[in-house]
Structure 1
Amino acid sequence: MSTAALPIAPKVPVGPGQVSVVIDGVLRRFDPADEIGAGGEARVFRFGQHAVKIYHSARAGSSSSSCKSSSVSHQVGWDLEARARKLMAYPVALPSAVMAPTSLVHDPVSQMVCGFVMPLVEGASPFKRLTSKRWATSRLSREQVCRLFSQLASVLTDLHRRGVVIGDLNDSNVLFRCETGGRSGPSPGEVFLIDADSVQFAGFPCPVAHERFLDPTLYGAALAQSPVFSPKTDWYAAAVLLFQSLLFTHPYGGMLSGFNNVLERAQARASVFRPEVVYPKAALSFEVLPSGLRDWFESIFEAGERSPLKMGDLSARWTVCGCGCEHGRARCPSCKAGTLGSTGSPVAAVRKPATRRGTCEAVTLIATPGRIVAASYSNGLRWLISENGELVREQGRRLGTHDLGVGTEVQLDGNDTWLVERATATRLGVDGRSTEPPIRFTPGVRAPMFSVAS
C-alpha cells in the first residue's frame, strides 16, 4: 500500500449513484448495482473476490467521539485525514479471519486516499443471527455456538499478542460460516472480523463503539481522542456477545426496579443473575450453562473482572434432555434427570414408582429407555415416545421411524399424530402412514390450527 501522507479527498461522482476511484493505478467505476452495503461512514462495493470501502466526505460539526446506539449508527467525528494515516500504517500478517485492508483507494483527480480494498466474505452471517432465538435454535446447537466462539477467542488472543485491540466488537461486525441444522457437526465453523479499519493499534484509536457491547468503564469516554480500549474491554464485549448467543438475552436484560435501561444496569453491575431481576420469558435460563461458563459470566457482569475466555469452558458437552431442555450440566436443570442413561441416550423425565402419602398416591404412568416427545390428556392420557428413532404411541402403537429435528413440533389429536416442521404439518394415522397431503400450520393460543397448504 502507498505510504505517502495523503489527506482524504472527496470522490468524483460520474453519474447518479456512481463513484470512480483509482485502485492499484487503474481507474475503477462502481454503479449502484455493485453496492453491497452502506452506513454512516462509507459505502461498500463488490470488486470481484474483494470488497471496496469508500468513505463519505467529512461532515462539518461532527462530535469528537461516538457510540452506536441500539437503533442508529452515528458518524464519528474522527476526521477522514486521520483515517488515511491509520490505513497507511495498518499492521501486516494479521490472522486470516481479519478482513484487513489489502490496497488503498485514491481519488482519480487529486490522488488522495478515500478508502481501501479488503477480502470479500461469501456465504457468511453476522453473529446477530445467533442472538435470535427463532433463527438459531432450529439451526445450531448450543455446543455448536460454543465452537464458533472458540474460533473467535483464538483470533482475539492472537490479535492481543500483536498489540491489536478490536474495540468495536459487536454482533454486526463478526461473521460466521458453518453447517447448520440443529446438531453439532464435525466442523467448528469459521469466524470473520469485518470493519477492520476501526481497530486500535500503534497509538491509533478505535473511534467507534456499540453501547450494548461497550465496557461500562468507557461510558462517556472520547473514543477518538486517544487509544482507550484494551484486551480487557474486548473480553467484556465477547462475554456480552456469547451470553446473548447462548441465552437470547443481554446480561443486563429483563427488568429491575430502580433502573431505566441496560446502560444503568451495566454501570451498577445489576445483571440477570440477581434473583430480584424479572428474567425475560423468551430467554433460556442461565441454569443451563456449564458451571465454568456461568462462573466466568458472573465474574464479569457481577464482580467487574475482565479475564480472557477459557477454551476449556467452551468445550463443555451440551445435551438435549428427554424433556427437551438443552443444557451443559451433569443433571438437567429443568427436570433434574441425569444427563445419560445406560444406553447413552437421554433419560426421559418420568416419576419414580408409586409412593403414598395419606390419601395421595403417585404412580408411574410412562417408563421408557427413550424420550417422551409429547403427552396430553384428552379422553384419557395420550403420549408419544421416541425409542431409537421410532415413534411409539400409547398402548404400544408403533408409527415408524421419523426424524424429529430441533424445530419439530408435535401435536396429539386423538389417534392422529401431527408433526410440524417449518410451518408444514403432516398427519400420521394409526398405522403411522401419512393420510393427507402436507398441511399448513398456524400456531394458536391454546392449540394449533390447521389448513390445507396451497
Structure 2
Amino acid sequence: MKPILINADKRLAVTRASRPGDLLHTPKGTSIRLVSVLGEGGEGAVYETNMPYVAKVYKPEKTTSHKLVKIQAMASAGVKFPGICLPLAPLYNSRNEFVGYLMEKADGVKIRTLYQKPLLQKKFPHWTKRDLVELCVTILEKIECLHRKGIVLGDINPDNILVKTPREVYFVDCDSYQVAGYPCPVGTIPFTPPELQNRGHYDSYLRTVGNENFAVAVLLFSLMITGQMPYNQKGGVSAQQNIIDMDFSYPLGESSNKKTPNGPWRFLWSHLPRFLKDAFYNTFNKGGNYSVESKRLSTFDWLKKFKEYLRLLDSGKLGEQDEMSTWIYPTRFKKQKGVVYVKCPYCKNDTDQSWINEKGACIECLRKRRLARQRSYGNPRVLQESKVQSPLNVLPDFLYRLFG
C-alpha cells in the first residue's frame, strides 16, 4: 500500500447541468454536440454525440479537480487498444467549465451476466469452455496493456467489463482508474487482496500492480468456476474473513479444507487443467507460492497459462480425454485413467463402475432418491438439508480428493 502524495480533491464549479442539444468542446476546440442519453448512473450520464464517440457527462456536484487531472493524464497516456474505453479528451461547456469526457463506444453484456447459467445460455447459447478461456485471454491482453502504461485499474469487477464476443470486450468506467499518483476511489471486497482488507477508504492509498494481480486472479477464477468467488464456502465465517485468512476451499491433490460450496462447482474445478488448478491454489491458499503481493502471478504469467489452455482445447486433447472438459457446465467429475466407466440409466452420466449399485444407479442418483423419499415423509431435518446441501457434497471425501 502506497501513501497519497497529491493535493486534496476539490469540487469544480459548474453553473448548469448539461442536457441533450448542448454543444461542448475539447481542449483543441473540437465541437461535440450531445444528442441523446444512452444511460444514467450515480455520477452522471452517457450521451450519444454527433461524433463516432460517446460522452460521459458528470452531474455538476461530481466534477472535481482529481477527475480532471486523471482524465487529462489518461488522454495523454497513448493507450490505443480496442475496447479500452479510456477518456480520449476532457469536455468543457460554453463557459469553459469541465463537465466530462469523450470516449469510445462500448457494447455487450456485463460479465456478471455470465455468472448465472440461465442468462449465459440465453445470451451465448453456443458457447463452450473454449469461449470462456478465449474471453480470459482477451481480458488479460487489455489489462497487460494498461499495466505497461503505468495504469492500475483498481476497481476490477464484473460490472465494469462488457462482453459481445470472446474477442470483442469493452472496459468501461475507466475514469476511476489509478493513474499519475491519483488513486482509484472505489472497489469491492471480493476483489480486494488480503493485505488491503479493512485498510480504510479506497481513495486513501495507492494500489500496486501486486495488489491488482490478486483481483485479476479472482476475475479469472470467477469465469472458470462460473459465478463463484474463490473464498465462497459452506459454513465458516464471512467471505471477507476468508479472504483475510486466505482460506481457499478448492482442493489440490490431498490438500483441502473440505468447505467447497454446495453445487456443481467441484465438477467445474475437476475439469480444469492441473497447471491452472495449481496456479489458483497457490494464489489463494495461505502459504501458497503466489499468495503474497510480491510473488503473485502477473497478467503476463496468466496469459501464458490461458493461451496454453486454449491450445489444449483447440488440439482436441482435452476432449479426447473427457468430452465434458470442453463443456462450461460438466455434470460429473473428470474421468481418470485406469477407471472403468458405465452409463447411469437415470442421469445418463458416465460413472465410475465401482460407484454403481446393483440396479445401475450412480451415487448421485441414489442420494437424490434418498432425499426425495425422506422429503415425501415430511422429515423436517431432511427438508432443511435439501435446501442447503446438494447431493454432490455428500460424496465421500476420498472420492473428491481424487479430482483435486
TM-score past 0.5 threshold:
yes
CA change 1:18–1:49 in 2 (3 A) is closer
- Give, in angstroms, the shift of residue 282 of structure 1: 4.9
CA change 1:108–1:275 in 2 (3 A) is same
The structure with the larger Rg is: 1
2:221 maps to which residue? Answer: 243
Other structure's SS at 1:89 match: helix
CA change 1:197–1:350 in 2 (3 A) is closer
- Give, in angstroms, the shift of residue 249 of structure 1: 0.9
1:251 is aligned with what amino acid? P
Percent identity over the alignment is: 20
Paired with 2:138 and 2:60, the residues of 1 have a C-alpha distance of 36
Other structure's SS at 2:42 match: coil
Bigger share in strand:
1
Paired with 1:21 and 1:207, the residues of 2 have a C-alpha distance of 30
Paired with 1:361 and 1:117, the residues of 2 have a C-alpha distance of 65
1:277-288 equivalent positions in 2, closer than 5 A: 277-283=259-265, 285=267, 286-288=269-271
Paired with 2:52 and 2:303, the residues of 1 have a C-alpha distance of 33
Paired with 1:238 and 1:84, the residues of 2 have a C-alpha distance of 27
- Give, in angstroms, the shift of residue 21 of structure 1: 5.0
Two-structure CA RMSD over aligned residues (Å): 3.7
Bigger share in helix:
2
- Give, in angstroms, the shift of residue 213 of structure 1: 1.4
Aligned counterpart for 1:58 among listed residues 54, 57, 61: 61
**Is 1:160 equivalent to 2:160 in the alignment?**
no
2:302 maps to which residue? Answer: 310
1:255 maps to which residue? Answer: 234
1:172 is aligned with what amino acid? D
CA change 1:288–1:88 in 2 (3 A) is same
Between the two proteins, the alignment pairs up a number of residues equal to 310
CA change 1:253–1:361 in 2 (3 A) is closer
Paired with 1:269 and 1:310, the residues of 2 have a C-alpha distance of 20
Q: Deviations over 1:78-127 (max 9, x none)?
A: x7122112222324321413212122211323x121110101023x2222
**Is 1:84 equivalent to 2:68 in the alignment?**
yes
Query: Structure 1: which 5+ runs fail to align?
Result: 1-5, 60-78, 179-187, 340-347, 366-374, 376-454
1:325 maps to which residue? Answer: 324
Paired with 1:147 and 1:238, the residues of 2 have a C-alpha distance of 15
1:98 maps to which residue? Answer: 84
2:136 maps to which residue? Answer: 149
Other structure's SS at 1:325 match: helix
- Give, in angstroms, the shift of residue 337 of structure 1: 5.2
TM, length-normalised to structure 1 = 0.59
Paired with 1:335 and 1:163, the residues of 2 have a C-alpha distance of 41
- Give, in angstroms, the shift of residue 37 of structure 1: 2.1
Paired with 1:350 and 1:39, the residues of 2 have a C-alpha distance of 50
Other structure's SS at 1:45 match: strand
CA change 1:38–1:218 in 2 (3 A) is farther
Higher relative contact order (CA 8 A, sep 6+): 2
1:262-281 equivalent positions in 2, closer than 5 A: 262-273=239-250, 274-281=256-263
Q: Deviations over 1:157-196 (max 9, x none)?
A: 2222221111111111122232xxxxxxxxx613222212
1:29-428 equivalent positions in 2, closer than 5 A: 30=34, 34-47=36-49, 48-58=51-61, 80-90=64-74, 91-96=76-81, 97-109=83-95, 111-122=96-107, 124-136=108-120, 138-178=125-165, 189-219=167-197, 220-226=199-205, 228-247=206-225, 248-257=227-236, 259=237, 261-273=238-250, 274-283=256-265, 285=267, 286-302=269-285, 303=288, 304-305=291-292, 306-308=296-298, 309-314=301-306, 315-316=308-309, 317-318=312-313, 319=318, 325-326=324-325, 334=333, 336=335, 349=350
Question: Contact 1:199 / 1:205 at 8 angstroms: preserved in 2?
Answer: yes
